[in-house]
Structure 1
Amino acid sequence: MIWLGIETANAPLSVAVVKDGKVLAEVVQNIKVTHSAGAMPAIETILANVGVKPNELEAIAVSEGPGSYTGVRIGVTLAKTLAWTLQKPLVGVSSLKVLAANAALFNGLICPIFDARRGNVYTAVYKGPKLDVVIEDYHDHIDGLLARLKDLDAPILFIGVDVDLFWDKIVEVIGHNAYRAPLYDDLPRASAAINLASMENLPNVEEVHHFIPQYKRIAEAEANWLKEQKEKAHEQ
Protein backbone atom coordinates (compact mmCIF):
# COMPACT_ATOMS: atom_id res chain seq x y z
CA MET A 1 0.00 0.00 0.00
CA ILE A 2 1.34 3.44 -0.90
CA TRP A 3 0.77 6.31 1.54
CA LEU A 4 1.46 10.02 1.30
CA GLY A 5 2.01 11.79 4.62
CA ILE A 6 1.70 15.54 5.20
CA GLU A 7 2.77 17.37 8.38
CA THR A 8 2.46 21.18 8.50
CA ALA A 9 0.86 21.78 11.90
CA ASN A 10 3.64 24.13 13.01
CA ALA A 11 6.75 25.76 11.53
CA PRO A 12 8.47 22.47 10.60
CA LEU A 13 7.39 20.83 7.35
CA SER A 14 7.51 17.11 6.63
CA VAL A 15 6.31 15.06 3.68
CA ALA A 16 6.79 11.32 3.26
CA VAL A 17 5.94 8.44 0.95
CA VAL A 18 5.65 4.99 2.49
CA LYS A 19 5.11 1.80 0.49
CA ASP A 20 4.21 -1.49 2.16
CA GLY A 21 5.54 -0.37 5.50
CA LYS A 22 8.84 1.03 4.20
CA VAL A 23 9.79 4.69 3.92
CA LEU A 24 10.66 5.42 0.29
CA ALA A 25 11.50 9.06 0.93
CA GLU A 26 10.91 11.76 3.50
CA VAL A 27 11.47 15.51 3.70
CA VAL A 28 11.90 17.09 7.14
CA GLN A 29 12.78 20.77 7.35
CA ASN A 30 12.53 23.69 9.74
CA ILE A 31 13.25 26.73 7.58
CA LYS A 32 11.40 30.00 7.10
CA VAL A 33 9.29 29.03 4.09
CA THR A 34 5.53 29.38 4.42
CA HIS A 35 3.68 26.11 4.01
CA SER A 36 1.40 27.67 1.43
CA ALA A 37 4.47 28.11 -0.78
CA GLY A 38 6.52 25.08 0.26
CA ALA A 39 4.19 22.14 0.93
CA MET A 40 2.89 21.38 -2.55
CA PRO A 41 6.32 21.69 -4.25
CA ALA A 42 7.70 19.33 -1.59
CA ILE A 43 4.97 16.80 -2.37
CA GLU A 44 5.54 17.06 -6.11
CA THR A 45 9.29 16.66 -5.70
CA ILE A 46 9.14 13.68 -3.38
CA LEU A 47 6.65 11.83 -5.59
CA ALA A 48 8.85 12.48 -8.62
CA ASN A 49 11.95 11.31 -6.77
CA VAL A 50 10.41 7.96 -5.83
CA GLY A 51 8.69 7.50 -9.19
CA VAL A 52 5.17 7.43 -7.78
CA LYS A 53 2.39 9.08 -9.75
CA PRO A 54 -0.34 10.84 -7.74
CA ASN A 55 -3.01 8.40 -8.90
CA GLU A 56 -0.87 5.50 -7.60
CA LEU A 57 -1.29 6.72 -4.02
CA GLU A 58 -3.71 4.59 -2.05
CA ALA A 59 -4.22 6.71 1.07
CA ILE A 60 -3.23 10.05 2.56
CA ALA A 61 -2.32 10.80 6.18
CA VAL A 62 -2.31 14.32 7.54
CA SER A 63 -1.48 15.93 10.85
CA GLU A 64 -4.86 17.36 11.85
CA GLY A 65 -3.79 19.61 14.74
CA PRO A 66 -3.53 21.13 17.19
CA GLY A 67 -0.86 23.67 16.35
CA SER A 68 -0.52 26.84 14.32
CA TYR A 69 -3.97 27.78 13.03
CA THR A 70 -2.55 28.64 9.61
CA GLY A 71 -0.26 25.63 9.46
CA VAL A 72 -2.99 23.17 10.39
CA ARG A 73 -5.43 24.75 7.94
CA ILE A 74 -2.96 24.61 5.05
CA GLY A 75 -2.06 20.96 5.65
CA VAL A 76 -5.65 19.81 6.04
CA THR A 77 -6.86 21.81 3.02
CA LEU A 78 -4.07 20.41 0.87
CA ALA A 79 -4.70 16.85 2.06
CA LYS A 80 -8.47 17.13 1.52
CA THR A 81 -7.99 18.55 -1.97
CA LEU A 82 -5.62 15.77 -2.97
CA ALA A 83 -7.75 13.05 -1.38
CA TRP A 84 -10.94 14.17 -3.10
CA THR A 85 -9.29 14.85 -6.46
CA LEU A 86 -7.58 11.45 -6.44
CA GLN A 87 -10.53 9.72 -4.76
CA LYS A 88 -8.36 8.31 -1.98
CA PRO A 89 -9.18 7.87 1.74
CA LEU A 90 -7.89 10.51 4.14
CA VAL A 91 -6.83 9.76 7.72
CA GLY A 92 -6.08 12.47 10.26
CA VAL A 93 -3.81 12.00 13.27
CA SER A 94 -2.95 14.21 16.22
CA SER A 95 0.02 16.46 15.52
CA LEU A 96 1.07 16.06 19.14
CA LYS A 97 1.00 12.28 18.85
CA VAL A 98 3.03 12.47 15.63
CA LEU A 99 5.76 14.35 17.50
CA ALA A 100 5.56 12.06 20.54
CA ALA A 101 6.14 9.07 18.25
CA ASN A 102 9.80 10.14 17.94
CA ALA A 103 10.27 9.22 21.60
CA ALA A 104 7.96 6.21 21.84
CA LEU A 105 10.70 4.04 23.40
CA PHE A 106 11.31 6.43 26.31
CA ASN A 107 10.85 4.65 29.63
CA GLY A 108 8.45 7.15 31.16
CA LEU A 109 5.92 9.75 30.09
CA ILE A 110 6.21 11.74 26.86
CA CYS A 111 5.03 15.34 26.74
CA PRO A 112 5.09 17.13 23.35
CA ILE A 113 4.72 20.90 23.51
CA PHE A 114 3.69 23.49 20.91
CA ASP A 115 3.84 27.17 21.77
CA ALA A 116 0.37 28.77 21.71
CA ARG A 117 1.61 32.27 22.67
CA ARG A 118 1.18 34.32 25.84
CA GLY A 119 2.51 31.50 27.99
CA ASN A 120 0.01 28.99 26.61
CA VAL A 121 0.75 25.63 25.03
CA TYR A 122 -0.86 22.82 23.08
CA THR A 123 0.13 19.61 24.76
CA ALA A 124 -0.69 16.04 25.75
CA VAL A 125 0.94 13.18 27.62
CA TYR A 126 1.58 9.70 26.21
CA LYS A 127 3.21 6.56 27.52
CA GLY A 128 4.84 3.48 26.03
CA PRO A 129 5.59 2.29 22.51
CA LYS A 130 1.87 2.26 21.68
CA LEU A 131 1.59 5.90 22.84
CA ASP A 132 -1.22 5.22 25.27
CA VAL A 133 -2.96 8.48 26.18
CA VAL A 134 -2.36 9.70 29.74
CA ILE A 135 -3.60 13.25 29.11
CA GLU A 136 -5.65 14.03 25.99
CA ASP A 137 -4.60 16.78 23.56
CA TYR A 138 -5.59 20.14 25.00
CA HIS A 139 -4.75 23.83 25.36
CA ASP A 140 -3.50 25.21 28.68
CA HIS A 141 -1.24 27.78 30.28
CA ILE A 142 2.20 26.34 30.96
CA ASP A 143 1.64 26.78 34.70
CA GLY A 144 -1.52 24.69 34.58
CA LEU A 145 0.22 21.97 32.60
CA LEU A 146 3.19 21.80 34.95
CA ALA A 147 0.92 21.57 37.98
CA ARG A 148 -0.74 18.51 36.42
CA LEU A 149 2.57 16.96 35.48
CA LYS A 150 4.07 17.47 38.92
CA ASP A 151 1.22 15.48 40.44
CA LEU A 152 2.05 12.54 38.17
CA ASP A 153 5.44 12.22 39.91
CA ALA A 154 7.10 10.30 37.07
CA PRO A 155 9.97 10.76 34.61
CA ILE A 156 8.75 12.98 31.78
CA LEU A 157 10.45 13.55 28.43
CA PHE A 158 9.61 16.94 26.90
CA ILE A 159 9.81 17.05 23.13
CA GLY A 160 9.45 19.73 20.45
CA VAL A 161 11.32 22.80 19.24
CA ASP A 162 9.16 25.02 21.47
CA VAL A 163 10.21 23.26 24.68
CA ASP A 164 13.21 25.60 24.90
CA LEU A 165 10.82 28.52 25.51
CA PHE A 166 9.64 26.91 28.75
CA TRP A 167 12.57 24.74 29.79
CA ASP A 168 13.74 26.82 32.76
CA LYS A 169 10.24 26.81 34.24
CA ILE A 170 9.83 23.10 33.50
CA VAL A 171 13.01 22.25 35.42
CA GLU A 172 11.99 24.56 38.25
CA VAL A 173 8.66 22.76 38.74
CA ILE A 174 9.35 19.18 37.63
CA GLY A 175 12.94 18.98 38.85
CA HIS A 176 14.82 15.70 38.43
CA ASN A 177 11.86 14.10 36.64
CA ALA A 178 12.25 16.46 33.66
CA TYR A 179 14.12 15.14 30.63
CA ARG A 180 14.80 16.93 27.33
CA ALA A 181 14.55 15.09 24.01
CA PRO A 182 17.63 15.29 21.76
CA LEU A 183 17.47 17.92 19.03
CA TYR A 184 17.01 15.37 16.21
CA ASP A 185 13.73 14.21 17.78
CA ASP A 186 12.23 17.71 18.02
CA LEU A 187 10.96 17.79 14.43
CA PRO A 188 7.77 15.86 13.59
CA ARG A 189 7.95 13.32 10.76
CA ALA A 190 5.30 12.62 8.17
CA SER A 191 6.33 8.96 8.21
CA ALA A 192 5.18 8.83 11.85
CA ALA A 193 1.85 10.31 10.78
CA ILE A 194 1.54 7.54 8.19
CA ASN A 195 2.46 4.86 10.72
CA LEU A 196 -0.21 6.10 13.15
CA ALA A 197 -2.78 6.45 10.37
CA SER A 198 -2.10 2.92 9.12
CA MET A 199 -3.32 1.58 12.47
CA GLU A 200 -6.78 3.06 11.83
CA ASN A 201 -9.56 1.70 9.67
CA LEU A 202 -9.58 3.47 6.31
CA PRO A 203 -12.63 5.72 5.99
CA ASN A 204 -14.78 5.96 2.88
CA VAL A 205 -13.68 8.54 0.32
CA GLU A 206 -16.99 10.35 0.82
CA GLU A 207 -15.92 11.18 4.38
CA VAL A 208 -13.25 13.54 3.02
CA HIS A 209 -15.96 16.24 2.80
CA HIS A 210 -16.59 16.01 6.55
CA PHE A 211 -12.96 16.02 7.63
CA ILE A 212 -12.15 19.01 9.86
CA PRO A 213 -9.00 20.19 11.67
CA GLN A 214 -8.67 19.67 15.42
CA TYR A 215 -7.57 23.08 16.64
CA LYS A 216 -8.37 22.43 20.33
CA ARG A 217 -8.86 26.18 20.60
CA ILE A 218 -10.97 28.69 18.71
CA ALA A 219 -9.22 31.17 16.43
CA GLU A 220 -8.04 34.44 18.00
CA ALA A 221 -10.46 36.50 15.90
CA GLU A 222 -13.38 34.38 17.09
CA ALA A 223 -12.18 34.59 20.69
CA ASN A 224 -12.01 38.40 20.46
CA TRP A 225 -15.50 38.51 18.95
CA LEU A 226 -16.92 36.37 21.76
CA LYS A 227 -15.19 38.59 24.33
CA GLU A 228 -16.75 41.69 22.75
CA GLN A 229 -20.19 40.09 22.80
CA LYS A 230 -19.86 39.26 26.50
CA GLU A 231 -18.76 42.82 27.28
CA LYS A 232 -21.69 44.27 25.35
CA ALA A 233 -24.12 41.95 27.10
CA HIS A 234 -22.68 42.99 30.47
CA GLU A 235 -23.12 46.68 29.64
CA GLN A 236 -26.80 46.26 28.76
Structure 2
Amino acid sequence: MKILAMDSTATAASVALMEDGCLLGEFYMNVKLTHSQTLLPMAEQLLACTQVALQDIGLFAVSAGPGSFTGVRIGVSAVKGLALAQSKPCVGVSTLEAMAYNAGQLDGIACCLMDARCGQVYGALFEVGGGRVTRLTEDAALPAEEMACLCRKQKKQIFLVGDGAQMCYNKTEFKAFTPFLLEEPLRQQHASGVAKAAAAAFARGQAVAAAELLPLYLRLPQAERELRHRQTGEKG
Protein backbone atom coordinates (compact mmCIF):
# COMPACT_ATOMS: atom_id res chain seq x y z
CA MET A 1 0.00 0.00 0.00
CA LYS A 2 1.22 3.47 -0.88
CA ILE A 3 1.08 6.11 1.89
CA LEU A 4 1.28 9.83 1.22
CA ALA A 5 2.28 11.59 4.44
CA MET A 6 2.62 15.26 5.38
CA ASP A 7 4.07 17.24 8.26
CA SER A 8 3.61 20.98 8.80
CA THR A 9 3.58 21.21 12.59
CA ALA A 10 6.67 23.44 12.97
CA THR A 11 8.90 25.67 10.83
CA ALA A 12 10.01 22.80 8.58
CA ALA A 13 7.50 21.14 6.26
CA SER A 14 7.79 17.83 4.43
CA VAL A 15 5.90 15.34 2.30
CA ALA A 16 6.82 11.66 1.95
CA LEU A 17 5.68 8.74 -0.17
CA MET A 18 6.11 5.25 1.27
CA GLU A 19 5.13 1.83 -0.03
CA ASP A 20 5.20 -1.28 2.16
CA GLY A 21 7.83 0.21 4.44
CA CYS A 22 10.05 1.47 1.61
CA LEU A 23 10.52 5.23 1.30
CA LEU A 24 9.95 6.10 -2.36
CA GLY A 25 10.66 9.80 -1.94
CA GLU A 26 10.53 12.73 0.45
CA PHE A 27 10.56 16.51 -0.05
CA TYR A 28 11.70 18.62 2.93
CA MET A 29 11.84 22.41 3.27
CA ASN A 30 12.99 24.44 6.26
CA VAL A 31 12.35 27.99 5.09
CA LYS A 32 10.13 30.82 6.29
CA LEU A 33 7.49 30.40 3.61
CA THR A 34 4.04 29.57 4.96
CA HIS A 35 3.05 25.93 4.74
CA SER A 36 0.05 26.88 2.64
CA GLN A 37 2.60 27.92 -0.01
CA THR A 38 4.78 24.80 0.14
CA LEU A 39 2.88 21.71 1.30
CA LEU A 40 0.60 20.89 -1.64
CA PRO A 41 3.16 21.95 -4.29
CA MET A 42 5.65 19.57 -2.67
CA ALA A 43 3.07 16.78 -2.74
CA GLU A 44 2.33 17.45 -6.40
CA GLN A 45 6.02 17.44 -7.35
CA LEU A 46 6.74 14.33 -5.28
CA LEU A 47 4.01 12.36 -7.05
CA ALA A 48 5.25 13.63 -10.41
CA CYS A 49 8.86 12.68 -9.67
CA THR A 50 7.93 9.19 -8.47
CA GLN A 51 5.39 8.77 -11.30
CA VAL A 52 2.66 7.82 -8.86
CA ALA A 53 -0.91 8.96 -9.52
CA LEU A 54 -2.96 10.44 -6.69
CA GLN A 55 -5.60 7.76 -7.15
CA ASP A 56 -2.95 5.10 -6.44
CA ILE A 57 -2.49 6.33 -2.87
CA GLY A 58 -4.06 3.87 -0.46
CA LEU A 59 -3.69 5.91 2.74
CA PHE A 60 -3.23 9.61 3.47
CA ALA A 61 -1.40 10.51 6.67
CA VAL A 62 -0.59 13.68 8.60
CA SER A 63 1.03 14.73 11.84
CA ALA A 64 -2.11 16.01 13.53
CA GLY A 65 -0.39 17.65 16.51
CA PRO A 66 0.86 18.83 18.82
CA GLY A 67 2.56 21.75 17.14
CA SER A 68 1.92 25.18 15.67
CA PHE A 69 -1.84 25.70 15.62
CA THR A 70 -1.72 27.20 12.13
CA GLY A 71 0.64 24.52 10.85
CA VAL A 72 -1.46 21.70 12.27
CA ARG A 73 -4.62 23.10 10.70
CA ILE A 74 -2.95 23.45 7.30
CA GLY A 75 -1.68 19.86 7.32
CA VAL A 76 -4.92 18.33 8.57
CA SER A 77 -6.99 20.36 6.10
CA ALA A 78 -4.76 19.33 3.18
CA VAL A 79 -4.99 15.63 4.01
CA LYS A 80 -8.73 15.81 4.68
CA GLY A 81 -9.24 17.36 1.25
CA LEU A 82 -7.07 14.83 -0.58
CA ALA A 83 -8.59 11.84 1.21
CA LEU A 84 -12.14 13.09 0.67
CA ALA A 85 -11.59 13.70 -3.04
CA GLN A 86 -10.20 10.18 -3.49
CA SER A 87 -12.62 8.48 -1.05
CA LYS A 88 -9.61 6.99 0.74
CA PRO A 89 -8.89 6.49 4.45
CA CYS A 90 -6.56 8.73 6.39
CA VAL A 91 -4.64 8.67 9.66
CA GLY A 92 -3.67 11.49 11.99
CA VAL A 93 -0.65 10.61 14.11
CA SER A 94 1.09 12.28 17.03
CA THR A 95 3.86 14.58 15.86
CA LEU A 96 5.96 13.40 18.79
CA GLU A 97 5.49 9.74 17.92
CA ALA A 98 6.41 10.41 14.30
CA MET A 99 9.61 12.14 15.46
CA ALA A 100 10.57 9.11 17.52
CA TYR A 101 11.10 7.19 14.28
CA ASN A 102 14.04 9.54 13.57
CA ALA A 103 15.85 7.62 16.32
CA GLY A 104 14.24 4.27 15.55
CA GLN A 105 17.50 2.51 14.68
CA LEU A 106 19.23 3.66 17.87
CA ASP A 107 18.99 1.79 21.18
CA GLY A 108 17.57 3.82 24.02
CA ILE A 109 14.89 6.38 24.80
CA ALA A 110 13.75 9.04 22.35
CA CYS A 111 12.78 12.18 24.21
CA CYS A 112 10.68 14.02 21.64
CA LEU A 113 10.39 17.74 22.28
CA MET A 114 8.69 20.67 20.59
CA ASP A 115 8.91 24.27 21.69
CA ALA A 116 5.43 25.09 23.02
CA ARG A 117 6.37 28.66 24.01
CA CYS A 118 5.38 30.19 27.33
CA GLY A 119 8.20 28.27 29.04
CA GLN A 120 6.75 24.88 28.08
CA VAL A 121 7.49 22.03 25.71
CA TYR A 122 5.30 19.45 24.07
CA GLY A 123 7.01 16.22 25.04
CA ALA A 124 6.78 12.43 25.22
CA LEU A 125 9.16 9.51 25.75
CA PHE A 126 9.46 6.48 23.48
CA GLU A 127 11.66 3.41 23.72
CA VAL A 128 13.43 2.86 20.39
CA GLY A 129 15.55 0.12 18.89
CA GLY A 130 15.75 -1.96 15.75
CA GLY A 131 13.33 0.34 13.95
CA ARG A 132 10.65 -0.22 16.59
CA VAL A 133 9.01 2.57 18.60
CA THR A 134 7.18 1.93 21.88
CA ARG A 135 5.41 4.74 23.70
CA LEU A 136 6.39 5.23 27.36
CA THR A 137 4.52 8.44 28.22
CA GLU A 138 1.54 10.28 26.80
CA ASP A 139 1.96 13.54 24.87
CA ALA A 140 1.89 16.46 27.27
CA ALA A 141 2.47 20.21 27.46
CA LEU A 142 4.71 20.79 30.46
CA PRO A 143 7.70 22.79 31.69
CA ALA A 144 11.04 21.58 30.32
CA GLU A 145 12.21 20.94 33.89
CA GLU A 146 9.40 18.39 34.39
CA MET A 147 10.40 16.66 31.16
CA ALA A 148 13.94 16.41 32.49
CA CYS A 149 12.61 14.71 35.63
CA LEU A 150 10.86 12.08 33.50
CA CYS A 151 14.09 11.48 31.58
CA ARG A 152 16.16 11.02 34.74
CA LYS A 153 13.95 8.07 35.72
CA GLN A 154 14.95 6.16 32.56
CA LYS A 155 17.81 3.65 32.67
CA LYS A 156 18.78 3.83 28.98
CA GLN A 157 20.56 6.45 26.89
CA ILE A 158 18.33 9.47 26.15
CA PHE A 159 18.22 10.86 22.59
CA LEU A 160 16.76 14.35 22.18
CA VAL A 161 14.63 14.88 19.08
CA GLY A 162 12.56 17.80 17.81
CA ASP A 163 12.63 21.56 17.44
CA GLY A 164 12.70 21.91 21.23
CA ALA A 165 15.66 19.55 21.64
CA GLN A 166 18.43 22.16 21.38
CA MET A 167 16.72 24.43 23.90
CA CYS A 168 16.40 21.59 26.41
CA TYR A 169 19.91 20.27 25.73
CA ASN A 170 21.29 23.63 26.88
CA LYS A 171 19.43 23.49 30.20
CA THR A 172 21.25 22.40 33.35
CA GLU A 173 18.48 19.94 34.23
CA PHE A 174 19.10 18.00 31.00
CA LYS A 175 22.90 18.13 31.11
CA ALA A 176 22.78 16.20 34.40
CA PHE A 177 22.07 12.90 32.58
CA THR A 178 24.18 13.58 29.43
CA PRO A 179 21.56 13.14 26.71
CA PHE A 180 22.55 12.74 23.06
CA LEU A 181 21.34 15.50 20.75
CA LEU A 182 20.43 14.25 17.28
CA GLU A 183 22.03 16.27 14.49
CA GLU A 184 20.22 18.35 11.90
CA PRO A 185 18.13 17.62 9.89
CA LEU A 186 17.39 14.28 11.58
CA ARG A 187 16.40 16.18 14.70
CA GLN A 188 13.44 17.85 13.00
CA GLN A 189 10.02 16.50 12.10
CA HIS A 190 9.90 14.45 8.90
CA ALA A 191 6.95 13.17 6.90
CA SER A 192 8.74 9.82 6.53
CA GLY A 193 8.29 9.36 10.28
CA VAL A 194 4.63 10.26 9.87
CA ALA A 195 4.31 7.55 7.21
CA LYS A 196 5.91 4.93 9.49
CA ALA A 197 3.68 5.87 12.41
CA ALA A 198 0.64 5.87 10.12
CA ALA A 199 1.47 2.38 8.82
CA ALA A 200 1.54 1.12 12.41
CA ALA A 201 -1.74 2.91 13.18
CA PHE A 202 -3.37 1.46 10.05
CA ALA A 203 -2.30 -2.04 11.12
CA ARG A 204 -4.03 -1.41 14.46
CA GLY A 205 -7.24 -0.47 12.63
CA GLN A 206 -7.01 3.24 13.46
CA ALA A 207 -7.60 4.68 9.98
CA VAL A 208 -10.64 6.96 9.64
CA ALA A 209 -12.69 8.59 6.92
CA ALA A 210 -11.72 12.14 5.92
CA ALA A 211 -14.64 13.67 7.83
CA GLU A 212 -13.42 12.09 11.07
CA LEU A 213 -9.84 13.38 10.89
CA LEU A 214 -9.24 15.94 13.64
CA PRO A 215 -6.27 17.95 14.92
CA LEU A 216 -4.68 16.86 18.21
CA TYR A 217 -4.28 19.99 20.33
CA LEU A 218 -2.80 19.69 23.82
CA ARG A 219 -3.85 23.16 24.89
CA LEU A 220 -6.02 26.05 23.74
CA PRO A 221 -4.71 28.53 21.15
CA GLN A 222 -2.98 31.56 22.66
CA ALA A 223 -5.87 33.91 21.87
CA GLU A 224 -8.31 31.65 23.73
CA ARG A 225 -5.90 31.23 26.66
CA GLU A 226 -5.53 35.01 26.97
CA LEU A 227 -9.29 35.50 26.78
CA ARG A 228 -9.87 32.89 29.50
CA HIS A 229 -7.20 34.50 31.66
CA ARG A 230 -8.85 37.93 31.32
CA GLN A 231 -12.28 36.50 32.11
CA THR A 232 -11.42 34.15 34.97
CA GLY A 233 -7.84 34.78 35.97
CA GLU A 234 -6.96 31.18 34.97
CA LYS A 235 -3.74 30.40 33.11
CA GLY A 236 -4.31 28.10 30.07
RMSD of aligned residue pairs (Cα, Å): 2.0
Q: Alpha-carbon deviation of 1:19?
A: 2.6
Change over 3 Å in CA distance of 1:72–1:179 after alignment to 2: same
SS of alignment partner, residue 161 of structure 1: coil
Q: TM-score with structure 1 length normalisation? A: 0.89
Matching residue of 2:3: 3
Matching residue of 1:137: 139
- CA shift digits 1:40-63 (9 cap, x unpaired): 111111111111221221110111
- CA shift digits 1:72-108 (9 cap, x unpaired): 1100011001111111100111111111111023222
SS of alignment partner, residue 200 of structure 2: coil
Gaps of 5+ in 2: none
Change over 3 Å in CA distance of 1:203–1:149 after alignment to 2: closer
More deviation in 108-117 or 178-187?
A: 178-187
More deviation in 191-200 or 112-121?
A: 191-200
- Quick check: 1:183 aligned with 2:184? yes
The structure having more radius of gyration, on CA atoms, is 1
Equivalent in 204, 209, 215 of residue 211 of structure 2: 209
Q: What number of residue pairs does the alignment pair up? A: 230
The one-letter code of the counterpart of 1:7 is D
Change over 3 Å in CA distance of 1:14–1:224 after alignment to 2: same
Gaps of 5+ in 1: none
The one-letter code of the counterpart of 2:79 is A
Matching residue of 1:106: 106
CA distance in 2 between counterparts of 1:148 and 1:68 reads 24
CA distance in 2 between counterparts of 1:231 and 1:194 reads 41
Identity between Structure 1 and Structure 2 (%): 31
8 A contact 1:156–1:179 mirrored in 2 = yes
The one-letter code of the counterpart of 1:111 is C
SS of alignment partner, residue 131 of structure 1: strand
- Quick check: 1:77 aligned with 2:97? no
8 A contact 1:7–1:13 mirrored in 2 = yes
8 A contact 1:98–1:193 mirrored in 2 = yes
8 A contact 1:89–1:203 mirrored in 2 = no
CA distance in 2 between counterparts of 1:43 and 1:131 reads 26
CA distance in 2 between counterparts of 1:30 and 1:89 reads 28
CA distance in 2 between counterparts of 1:67 and 1:200 reads 20
